[in-house]
Each structure stands twice: as C-alpha cells, then as structure tokens.
Amino acid sequence: MSANVQLQRRPDESALWDHHKAFDVERVRADFPILNERVHGRALIYLDNAATTQKPEAVIEAISHYYRHDNANIHRGVHLLSQRATDAYESARAAVRRFLNAQSSSEIVFVSGATVEINLVAQTYGRTHIVSGDQVLITSMEHHSNIVPWQILCEEKGAKLRVAPVNDRGELLLEKLEELLSSRTKIVSIAHVSNALGTVNPIRQIIRMAHSRGIPVIVDGAQAAPHLQIDVQDLDCDFYAFSGHKIYGPTGIGVLYGKAELLEEMPPYQGGGDMISSVTFEKTIYNKVPHKFEAGTPDISGVIGLGAAIAYIDSLGIASIAEHEDELLSYATAQLEKIPGIRLVGTAREKVGALSFVMEGVHPHDIGTILDQEGIAVRTGHHCAQPIMDRFGIPATVRASFGLYNTKAEIDSLAAGIEKVKEILV
C-alpha cells in the first residue's frame, strides 16, 4: 500500500510516527508508477533527479481529481467549482508557506519555475535598485538561469557582474566572496546547492555577510528544496526560488518566496488579469501581494499538484529523506572512487544529491548512451553551468543524481554499467 494512501486512511499521530521511524524505500517506490517502466528491456534505474524528479501517485491523482471534479478558473467566480478550485489553489499556497516556514502566505508567489523567479527578481527588484556602476554578485557554480538574467540586467543598466570563485573541490572561497562585497554591490544571488557539483553552499553565513553591509540575497534553491529542510526565516534570505518539478511535483510551476516588505515595494513583473485591483485608462491600481505577481490564469492544476507533492514529502519527513539520500550519495561516492580511470568532479565536504564524474579518454555522452542501454538514466553535458565546467577545464560531465526512491542496488548497477563502458570503450 502506498505511503500516502495509508496516511490518508489513518491520519493520526501514530501513523505519522510509524512512517518517520523507518524509511522503507521499497514502500516508497511503490508510490511511483513510472518506476515500473522498462527501458531497452531493462528495469528503469532513474538517476536524473537533479533534472527532474518522478511523480508519486498522490500528485498524479491530485491533478486528475482537479480536472475531473473541480476545474474552473480561480479568484473571480462565485460558482461552486470556482470556489473549490480557489480553495485548492490557496491551500497549496498555505502548504508551501509551511514547507518554507515563511511568515505569511502573501510571501509565496507562484510562477512557472526557478528560471522565471530569478528573472522576476532581476527585472523588478533589480531594475528599480540597480544603476550604472553598481554590481551584482553571483558565484562561478551558478546555473545559467542564475547568470543570464543578471547579465541582461547589468547590460541594460551599465552595471557589473562579479563572480565569487571556488576551490578545486568545488567549494566557495568565502574570503574571496567577502572581498567582492562592496558599497556598489546591490544584490547577491547564489545557489543553495550546485546542480553540477552537488556542493551545499554556506548560505546562512553568506546572507549574514551580505546583510551586515545592507545587501539583499536571493537564494536559488532549485537543487536544495528536494533534499534539505528549508527555513526562510532562520536563513533570513530576502528571496528563495525553487521549482515544483524537482520536488516530485509537476512541471511548469515553481515558487518565489520574498519578504513581504520587498514584494510590496517591487513593481509588477507582468500586467494582466488578477494582478490588478482596479483598472481605468488613466490609472491601474495593482492587487496586493502575492497576486500582484501572478498575472493571468495561473497553472492551477500545477499548484494543486505541487501542494500534493509537499504533502507527500511531509508524509515521509524531509529529515528521513535527507538521511536516506545522504547514505546513497556516500555509497555512490565510495563505489565510483574505486573504479580506476573515474574522476569525481566536485568533492566538496558538504554535498547533496548529485555526483558528477568524468572517465579518462571517454566522452560523457558515450557513457550516457551505453548506460541508457542498461536502463540507467543519467545526465551528460554541461548541466546548464558552462562556467563551472570551464573552471574545471572540462566540457562536460556525467551526472548521477539521487532521489528519495533510489537504492544502493541501483548504485551497484551504475558501477557495473560504468565497468561495461570501460570494457567497450577504453
């Protein structure tokens, strides 16, 4: 029986406690129908979770239920279906508030994903606060979606993008980062976890460094939200961005957390329906936050699916998930380190989720293609993080990334698959 179904039937304290006690990966796997797929005649081994995660039955069912029973546009309708859809949509916002420990649901903005969230901050907060000669500070391990929006802004404003470097393990050089914080720095935008290396950045410390100089911080949490407990009040970040599809929710929906006072003073990102309180040809009064940033009909089913994904994660407990995934990452690291000719890229002391590697004399795409024949899905390429590839002097890596349903047996298969690649190509 699936974990979520059992919790729905016995929503009492003891059921929750039972579930938290032991992380039963086989029981968890039964919640994900796609894990029964066969690939080239083999059982699917899905190790591409940093790109997107698979969806549990509870998420698929929540979306299907919405379209079968509640589908209507939200916020403006007096009829029952519209009220039901609005309730489901706003309940999901409340679930996200709890997930991030934000102070208020008005600090939770739904847009399509981390990419749009960072663009939103660059084009609203950034555009109104950054002038010629100012600086934006990022790091050399950022995903392109936390580089290009700032480059566009800097180009438009005549501002400068500054980049904090990393050491050979792929850890941020904090003293260098601190040296780059100046009176001209107007925002720091930094990944909580690197998608290419798996490095966990000490964002609490960085936020404190920036705040002591009055500089706000946006955290790109796309790779952290699936693996770590996030508490935006404890972090004291000004913005936190993540995507639903990387936390077992649907594609096309994501969350921008912003401190209420910042969201309130920011201009809207896009104009249209729902983001207004009143419109005349002379003047438009904008809606209150977060609706000011949700122009047009939103991805209602996506938000509902995301709410179900968060309920699913809560039913397992993020601490239990993190413990399971830590074990997987340590095991995978040990297994791959044993294979001659394999070099891990990104060996930070604090890592989660992903293991990047290269094999001497073999292109990562060839490794990925042979692993695919074994039913093993990994990602190969620059992982939308070309500057960090350049830092390590390589064009690409193979990246195996882990989710809550992966097992040590799957990692053994990965190691065996890599040995097979060596037999064929080396």
Ligand X SMILES: Cc1ncc(COP(=O)(O)O)c(C=O)c1O
Measured from the CB atom, the residue of 143 and 291 that comes closer to ligand X is 143
Spot the catalytic one: 15, 384, 394, 415: 384
* CA–CA dist 329, 29 (Å, integer): 18
Closest distance between ligand X and the C-beta of residue 283, in Å?
Answer: 34
Closest distance between ligand X and the C-beta of residue 114, in Å?
Answer: 4
Contacts of 359 (CB under 8 A, 6+ apart): 341, 342, 343, 367, 398, 418, 421, 422, 426
Measured from the CB atom, the residue of 189 and 347 that comes closer to ligand X is 189
The tokens for 19 are: 């579930």
Measured from the CB atom, the residue of 249 and 268 that comes closer to ligand X is 249
Measured from the CB atom, the residue of 223 and 356 that comes closer to ligand X is 223
Closest distance between ligand X and the C-beta of residue 145, in Å?
Answer: 4
* CA–CA dist 378, 48 (Å, integer): 5
H or E segment and range at residue 185 = strand 185-191
| CA–centroid distance for 194 within its chain | 10
Measured from the CB atom, the residue of 195 and 406 that comes closer to ligand X is 195
* CA–CA dist 105, 11 (Å, integer): 24
Q: Which amino acid makes up residue 152?
A: I
| Phi, psi of 243, deg, nearest 5 | -110, 140
* DSSP for 338-374, written as a single string: TSTTEEEE---SSB-SEEEEEETTB-HHHHHHHHHHT
CA nearest neighbour of 187 among 157, 232, 166, 165: 157
Closest distance between ligand X and the C-beta of residue 405, in Å?
Answer: 19
CA nearest neighbour of 391 among 136, 180, 116, 199: 199
CA nearest neighbour of 312 among 247, 382, 259, 258: 247
Measured from the CB atom, the residue of 49 and 406 that comes closer to ligand X is 49
Q: Count Cβ atoms below 10 Å from residue 60 Cβ, excluding itself.
A: 16
Cα-based torsion angle of the residue sequence 150, 153, 154, 157 in order, rounded to the nearest 10 degrees? -160
Closest distance between ligand X and the C-beta of residue 15, in Å?
Answer: 33
Closest distance between ligand X and the C-beta of residue 377, in Å?
Answer: 15
Q: Which residue has the tokens 């059992």?
A: 6
The binding site for ligand X (CB under 6 A) comprises 113-115, 143, 145-146, 191, 195, 220, 222-223, 243
Q: Is 79 helix (H, G, I), strand (E, B) or coil?
A: coil
Closest distance between ligand X and the C-beta of residue 246, in Å?
Answer: 7
Measured from the CB atom, the residue of 362 and 388 that comes closer to ligand X is 388
Measured from the CB atom, the residue of 143 and 422 that comes closer to ligand X is 143
> Is 384 labeled as catalytic in the residue annotation?
yes
CA nearest neighbour of 164 among 202, 117, 130: 202
Contacts of 5 (CB under 8 A, 6+ apart): 57, 58
CA terminus-to-terminus distance, the chain: 45
Closest distance between ligand X and the C-beta of residue 312, in Å?
Answer: 19
CA nearest neighbour of 247 among 381, 411, 391, 54: 54
Catalytic residues: 384
